[in-house]
Structure 1
Amino acid sequence: MLKNDGKQLQSNLSQLSVTWVGHATTLVQIDGINILTDPIWSERCSPLSFVGPKRYTPPGISISDLPKIDVILLSHNHYDHTDLPTLKRLEEKFHPLVLTGLGNRKLLLDEGLQNVKEMDWWEEWKLGSLQFTFTPTQHFSGRGLLDRDETLWGSFVISGKQETVYFAGDTGYYSHFQEIASRFPKIDVAILPIGATEPRWLMEPVHVDPKEAVRSFSDLKAKFLVPMHYMTFVLSDEPLDSPVPRTKEAMKESGISESALVPLKIGESRFF
Structure 2
Amino acid sequence: MVKNDGSLLQKNQSKLSVTWVGHATTLVQIDGVNILTDPIWSERCSPLSFAGPKRYTPPGISITNLPKIDIIILSHNHYDHTDIPTLKTLEETFHPLVLTGLGNRKLLLGAGLKHVKEMDWWEEVTFRSLKLTFTPTQHFSGRSLFDRDETLWGSFMVVGAKEKVYFAGDTGYYTHFKEIANHFGPIDIAILPIGATEPRWLMEPVHIDPNQAVLSFLDLKAKYLVPMHYMTFVLSDEPLDSPVPRTKEAMKQSGISESAFVPLKIGESRFF
TM-score band, normalised by shorter chain: over 0.9
- Root mean square deviation, CA, Å: 0.3
Note if 1:217 corresponds to 2:239. Answer: no
In the alignment, the residues of structure 1 paired with residue 267 and residue 209 of structure 2 have an alpha-carbon distance, to the nearest angstrom, of 23
In the alignment, the residues of structure 1 paired with residue 22 and residue 214 of structure 2 have an alpha-carbon distance, to the nearest angstrom, of 20
In the alignment, the residues of structure 1 paired with residue 71 and residue 262 of structure 2 have an alpha-carbon distance, to the nearest angstrom, of 23
- Where does 1:91-240 land on structure 2 (aligned, <5 Å)? 91-240=91-240
Q: Which stretch shows the higher mean deviation, 181-190 or 71-80?
A: 181-190
Letter in 1 for 2:126: K
Aligned match of 1:10? 10
What secondary structure does 2:47 align onto?
Answer: coil
Percent identity over the alignment is 82
Unpaired runs of 5+ residues, structure 1, are: none
What secondary structure does 2:244 align onto?
Answer: helix
User: 1:186: how far off?
Assistant: 2.2
- Where does 1:235-250 land on structure 2 (aligned, <5 Å)? 235-250=235-250
In the alignment, the residues of structure 2 paired with residue 264 and residue 46 of structure 1 have an alpha-carbon distance, to the nearest angstrom, of 26
User: 1:33: how far off?
Assistant: 0.3
Aligned match of 2:22? 22
User: 1:90: how far off?
Assistant: 0.1
Aligned match of 2:66? 66
> For each residue in 1:204-230, what CA deviation from the matched residue of structure 2 results, as whole angstroms up to 9, or x when unmatched?
000000000000000000000000000
In the alignment, the residues of structure 1 paired with residue 226 and residue 27 of structure 2 have an alpha-carbon distance, to the nearest angstrom, of 12
In the alignment, the residues of structure 1 paired with residue 89 and residue 186 of structure 2 have an alpha-carbon distance, to the nearest angstrom, of 35
In the alignment, the residues of structure 2 paired with residue 253 and residue 40 of structure 1 have an alpha-carbon distance, to the nearest angstrom, of 34
In the alignment, the residues of structure 2 paired with residue 229 and residue 243 of structure 1 have an alpha-carbon distance, to the nearest angstrom, of 9
Q: Which stretch shows the higher mean deviation, 31-40 or 253-262?
A: 253-262
In the alignment, the residues of structure 2 paired with residue 180 and residue 189 of structure 1 have an alpha-carbon distance, to the nearest angstrom, of 13
Letter in 1 for 2:175: S
Q: TM-score, length-normalised on structure 2?
A: 1.00
Runs (4 or more) in structure 1 with deviation over 6 Å come to none
Unpaired runs of 5+ residues, structure 2, are: none
